[in-house]
Amino acid sequence: MVLMPSPVTVVILAAGLGTRMKSRQAKVLHRAGGKALVEHVVETALHIAPAERIFVVVGHQADRVREALASTGVGFIEQAQQKGTGHAVLAGRDALAGLGGRLVVLYGDSPLLRPKRLRD
């Protein structure tokens, strides 16, 4: 019997203010290598899950984050109040409820994460 791998759903946390950056711009929108930090993370996530199983939690400057990722086909989860990492994942409870499989939670400001690390 060949076991099929469990489907993977990815939640990318991108709602925070990024106050330690000392910038008015959302942390995940800062650029490195010609792209917003969160764009790098979405590209990496697409190596382990299809766009319809990738959700970006947005809050601070949500419209700008959505705009930066509009062409990727990922979904968005609104976190109205930024109350931390656990609360951000909890904000997506309804959207994620029926998906099954594995859940991978990534930070939207981690552009150096590589697909191999996620697959491992």
Cβ atoms of 103 and 55 within 8 Å: the answer is no
Verify whether residue 20 is a known catalytic residue: yes
Q: E strands, 1-120, where?
A: 8-14, 31-32, 35-36, 54-58, 75-78, 102-107
Q: Which residues pair with 107 in a beta bridge?
A: 13
Choosing from 20, 24, 93, 119, which is the catalytic residue?
20
Give the catalytic positions in this structure.
20
